[in-house]
Amino acid sequence: MTEYRVTDPTTNDVLRRVAIASDDQVDAAVARADSAYRDWRRRPIGERAEYLSAVAAEYRADRVRLAAIITREMGKTTAEALGEVDLVADIFDYYAQNGPSFVAERRLETPTGEAVVRSSPIGVLLGIMPWNYPYYQVARFAAPNLVLGNTVVLKHAPNCPESAAAISELFDRIGLPIGVYENVYASEAQVARMIEAPAVQGISLTGSERAGRAVGELAGRAMKKVVLELGGSDPFIVLPDADLDAAADAAVAGRMGNAGQACTASKRFIVLDEVHDEFVDRFVRRVQALRVGSPTDPNVAFGPLSSETAAATVIEQVNDALAHGARALAGGRRPSGAGAFVEPTVLTDVPASARAYHEEIFGPVAVVYRVTSVDEAVRLANDTPYGLGSVIFGADAALMNEIADRLDVGMVSINGPSQTQADLPFGGVKASGFGRELGDYGMAEFVNRKLIRTHAPR
């Protein structure tokens, strides 16, 4: 990687190039964050919260321009881009309003005197963020940690230099002290350099399993705390008593949103035999009705994938499945013409020998499986290296909660698609990573819970 660049995935035209920072610039950014931390941590938490409220207001005021940036960078539809900006504003507001109570001093009962646990920041944090939600991914990491009193150095994805700059500019606009939030256009080698820097106390990465393994290894050697939010191959279980129209609507929304480029997108649809054909018929008809085209067209469901490489990878996975005996019930091809477009696709009869069985498909491709029992559904749902989210549709609440307990995942959604909210924890298990973001859990990762004990007089 020699540069950051904006490539419009609708046309594959390169619109802008940004040079990678020098080692001196990277070191200076870390040094500014370290220096700023010493003042920032001492400011009252209420004052830090006011900065978050101000940045939330800036996101709302500038939402149209901000949305246009990520549409141009990675092909998100205008409606989805505006929704992402609104969610980011909600996240900053949430931590501004609730952050102080999340770190309130906790008094412990002890017969030997008095004891309290105080939550305090730990220092400079390095955030390594992906391209699929350029603002949201940054917000869910930065907001809780800034209000806590940590400072942030942010390394964004190479295809998101403009949104990375826009985030930094918003913080400058509200007068955030220099060094509290630093944006760096860093290379992979410079990421390793920052992880090893003594000033950096923690690392948060949202990205691929490959990136997570590399960063986790570096962080472990450096004895640094790390949070990894990685990929997913989320199951969507349809039980015989499910509302099939509601399930099919949720299946389309949960799989095809953001052109299928979400770690928590439902990717494997596991349907009980009694309703398999009826559900698949509803699902396929809805998928075939989706329009794909320019992300600025309000009538399209989704635009291109983020890049030509992303589109080619998805089609390779589809073709591999077909070569191993799978069938395409819808789509399965790339439309003619320029751009990183992929047809909305539904595959069935995908065998365990195909890449699509175990790999995450990061695009608008759904894989449908028929099962004959709940036990088989759970076994298939858990037959993946990932463990992020999941969806269950049915009418028997007790059964669905039992299934939820048996799923090896970090999140379960019953009778609705997986959705992010500022007040609900987010994270997974297995190869989907570890640690949690959002909700009060979002302030529980990079924190020093300091015990202060006062002994009773003898």
The question of whether 229 is a catalytic residue gets the answer: yes
Provide the CA 336 distance to its chain's centre, in angstroms.
Answer: 31
* 402 found inside a domain: yes
Residues 403, 321 within the same domain: yes
Cβ distance 34 to 123 under 8 Å? yes
Cβ distance 33 to 124 under 8 Å? yes
Cβ distance 284 to 367 under 8 Å? no
* 209 found inside a domain: yes
Residues 318, 206 within the same domain: no
* 426 found inside a domain: no
- Token pair for residue 129? 């963020």
Q: For residues 418 and 412, what is the distance between their CA atoms, to the nearest angstrom?
A: 8
Q: For residues 21 and 31, what is the distance between their CA atoms, to the nearest angstrom?
A: 15
Residues 22, 96 within the same domain: yes
Residue (of 232, 238, 233) closest to 251 by Cα position: 238
Q: For residues 213 and 410, what is the distance between their CA atoms, to the nearest angstrom?
A: 19
Residues 108, 39 within the same domain: yes
* Amino acid identity, position 327: R
Of 73, 182, 263, 359, catalytic:
263
The question of whether 263 is a catalytic residue gets the answer: yes
* 39 found inside a domain: yes
Cβ distance 92 to 118 under 8 Å? no
Please give the pLDDT value at position 1: 52
Provide the CA 421 distance to its chain's centre, in angstroms.
Answer: 12
Cβ distance 104 to 153 under 8 Å? no
Where is 350: in which H helix or E strand?
none
As a three-state string, the secondary structure of 370-437 is: EECCHHHHHHHHHCCCEECCCEEECCCHHHHHHHHHHCCCCCCEECCCCCCCCCCCECCEECCEECCE
Q: For residues 223 and 243, what is the distance between their CA atoms, to the nearest angstrom?
A: 50
* Residue bearing tokens 């190869």: 431
Residues 349, 440 within the same domain: no
Residues 56, 158 within the same domain: yes
Instruction: Record the pTM.
Output: 0.96
Domain range enclosing 396: 234-421
Residues 123, 240 within the same domain: no
The CATH number of the domain holding residue 269 is 3.40.309.10
* 310 found inside a domain: yes
* 427 found inside a domain: no
Q: For residues 395 and 24, what is the distance between their CA atoms, to the nearest angstrom?
A: 60
292 strand-pairing partners: 302
* Amino acid identity, position 128: I
Name all contacts of 320-325 with Cβ < 8 Å and 24+ positions apart. 320/354, 320/355, 320/356, 321/347, 321/350, 321/354, 321/355, 321/356, 321/357, 321/367, 322/347, 323/354, 324/350, 324/351, 324/353, 324/354, 325/349, 325/351, 325/354
Residues 314, 348 within the same domain: yes
Over its length of 458 residues, how does the chain's per-residue pLDDT go in tens digits?
568 999 999 999 999 999 999 999 999 999 999 999 999 999 999 999 999 999 999 999 999 999 999 999 999 999 999 999 999 999 999 999 999 999 999 999 888 889 999 999 999 999 999 999 999 999 999 999 999 999 999 999 999 999 999 999 999 999 999 999 999 999 999 999 999 999 999 999 999 999 999 999 999 999 999 999 999 999 999 999 999 999 999 999 999 999 999 999 999 999 999 999 999 999 999 999 999 999 999 999 999 999 999 999 999 999 999 999 999 999 999 998 899 999 999 999 999 999 999 999 999 999 999 999 999 999 999 999 999 999 999 999 999 999 999 999 999 999 999 999 999 999 999 999 999 999 999 999 999 999 999 998 87
* 377 found inside a domain: yes
Residue (of 157, 201, 203, 150) closest to 183 by Cα position: 157
Residues 306, 172 within the same domain: no
The CATH number of the domain holding residue 10 is 3.40.605.10
* Amino acid identity, position 134: P
Where is 152: in which H helix or E strand?
strand 151-155
Residues 55, 177 within the same domain: yes
Residues 220, 243 within the same domain: no
Residues 7, 107 within the same domain: yes
Please give the pLDDT value at position 458: 76
Q: For residues 237 and 415, what is the distance between their CA atoms, to the nearest angstrom?
A: 10
Name all contacts of 210-215 with Cβ < 8 Å and 24+ positions apart. 211/128, 212/433, 215/128, 215/191
**What is the count of structural domains for the chain?**
2
Of 182, 209, 229, 360, catalytic:
229
* 411 found inside a domain: yes
* Residue bearing tokens 């001492």: 42
Provide the CA 255 distance to its chain's centre, in angstroms.
Answer: 15
Please give the pLDDT value at position 220: 96
